[in-house]
Structure 1
Amino acid sequence: MTIPKLRRGDRLVLATHNAGKLKEFQELFAPFGLELVSAGDLGLPEPEENGTTFAENARTKAHAAARGANMLALSDDSGICVDALDGQPGVYTADWAGVPRNFANAMQRVEAELLSKGATTPEQRTASFNATLCLAHPDGRDVLYVGKCDGVLVWPPRGTQGHGYDPMFQPEGFDITFGEMAAEAKHSWAPGGKGLSHRARAFAQFVENQIEQG
């Protein structure tokens, strides 16, 4: 069974307690007239994320929010995978920032790990941002959309835009980092387009398949 398409005026829960992620999704959803509320705003508990893949964690969060709010829920599980570190931090991207989250420390840890591997040239510092979106219905149905953006890691970090590891990630084909890009450039998405960021690319697929056009 499929999940009915969303229409202007529909409301759904974003399964996150992260204000930065909520802001980014509100910017993406702005053209469609959908009301987005976060699981944190609704006071829903954060489920334990013990999956080993982005898809598993995305499903865990989306279904917990859908059941808790009894409405459609959208989750995003995303992270940065560094080739020289065998794909780490991957699903543990946020965990590397500790509690409370300190992404300056997390970026420093990535850099230290790269130096321990002797990864000093751009060719040795390739990485990708990955995002998996899960739209879940309270009755247990769900659908996944996956996006990926390749690039290289720079040091020191540059820019104050975005969040997380953005200041050290330079997307392929650009000479500036996500941290130096305005939100519009980072998403670089419009109806019918592909998008630049991992999240925008997953979102482009979501829009094509899940949002009623016209």
Structure 2
Amino acid sequence: MQKIVLASNNAGKLKEFQALLAPLNFQVITQGELGIPSAEEPHLTFVENALAKARHASSASGLPALADDSGICAHALDGKPGVFSARFAGEPANDGANNQKLVSDLNGQADRGAHYVCALVFVNSANDPEPLIVQTRWHGQIITEPKGSNGFGYDPHFYIPELNLTAAELDPAQKNLISHRGQALRELIVQLKSRA
């Protein structure tokens, strides 16, 4: 199995990536398991932050690295919280507080549309001149009352009209088929296979 370091310590993301990459013989380990601190995320775009995180993890580990930067963009809020999704309600990061702030900020807004974004970057080395970069969207709506207990982040408030379910009501396998991260990883896998 080929080891890849995941530039994240998010248990939810690790679980999703392990499930999606295991069939391809990749062993995903988190940067935290290797004692690598998190990278700075000073950029205003998902792609730039993901690239910075991937290069940082690869440099510190000497392994190929995979990083994603993802979040939710509410249409009525000009794309907020965007790259600040994990800490929308401030430090320390807290899913419940973030959801509460998003629902509160959308109070009275007619447009409840939102989309998850996932920018996924894979580098073979810290100085890889050809990083593989994928960015995808998953469209839905923000609902006021949370539903479901699966997933993480904004999933209990992210409603998918065509399924009549929130992301938190989907079982993990179903979510991996349609989510922003699942879409991005499948596109990345196509690129990895064509590069080999």
TM-score range, shorter chain: over 0.9
User: Root-mean-square deviation (CA), in Å?
Assistant: 1.5
122, 128, 146: which one pairs with 2:115? Answer: 128
Match of 1:72 among 37, 60, 64: 64
Distance in 1 (CA, whole Å) between partners of 2:54 and 2:166 is 30
How far apart are the structure 2 equivalents of 1:174 and 1:93?
A: 24
Does the CA-based 8 Å contact 2:87-2:94 persist in structure 1?
no
| Corresponding residue of 1:138 | 125
Give the aligned residue type for 2:79: G
Q: 1:200 aligns with which of 170, 182, 196?
A: 182
Q: 1:22-69 deviations in whole A, cap 9, x for unaligned?
A: 111111112222111100111101111000000010011000001000
Q: Contact 2:54 / 2:126 at 8 angstroms: preserved in 1? A: no
Contact in 1 for aligned 2:86/2:94 (Cα 8 Å): no
Q: Which residue of 2 aligns with 1:29?
A: 21
Q: Which runs of 4+ in 1 moved over 4 A?
A: none
Between the aligned partners of 1:113 and 1:90, the Cα distance in structure 2 is 14
| Equivalent residue, structure 2, for 1:187 | 176
Query: Structure 1 residue 97: deviation in Å?
Result: 4.6
Q: CA deviation at 1:137?
A: 2.6
Verify: 1:55 aligned to 2:47, yes or no. Answer: yes
State the shift of 1:10 in Å: 1.1
Q: Distance in 2 between matches of 1:51 and 1:172?
A: 32
Q: CA deviation at 1:171?
A: 2.4
Q: Could you tell me whether the CA contact under 8 Å between 1:149 and 1:171 is conserved in 2? A: no
Post-superposition shift, 1:139? 4.7
Give the TM-score of the pair, scaled to structure 1. 0.86
Residue 172 of structure 1: CA displacement? 4.5
Equivalent residue, structure 2, for 1:6: none
Q: 2:7 matched to 1:15? A: yes
Tell me if the contact between 1:78 and 1:91 (Cα under 8 Å) persists in the aligned partners: yes
Q: 2:100 aligns with which of 83, 92, 108?
A: 108
Q: Do 1:53 and 1:91's aligned partners in 2 also have CA atoms closer than 8 Å?
A: yes
After TM superposition, the score normalised by the length of structure 2 is 0.94
Contact 2:156 2:169 in 1 (8 A): yes
CA displacement at 1:100 relative to structure 2:
3.2
Q: Please tell me whether the aligned partners of residues 63 and 137 of structure 1 are also in contact (alpha carbons under 8 angstroms).
A: no
For structure 2, the residue ranges without an aligned partner over 5 or more in a row are: none
Q: Structure 2 CA distance, aligned partners of 1:100 and 1:139?
A: 29
Partner Cα distance (1:139, 1:157) in 2: 40
The 8 Å contact of residues 129 and 198 in structure 1, kept in 2 or not, is answered as: yes
Q: How far apart are residue 89 of structure 1 and its match?
A: 0.2
Q: Distance in 1 between matches of 2:89 and 2:66?
A: 24
What is the DSSP-based 3-state SS (H/G/I as helix, E as strand, rest coil) of the residue aligned with 2:37? coil
Q: Going by fraction, where is helix more abundant, 1 or 2? A: 2
Identity %: 37
Which letter does structure 2 place at the counterpart of 1:167?
P
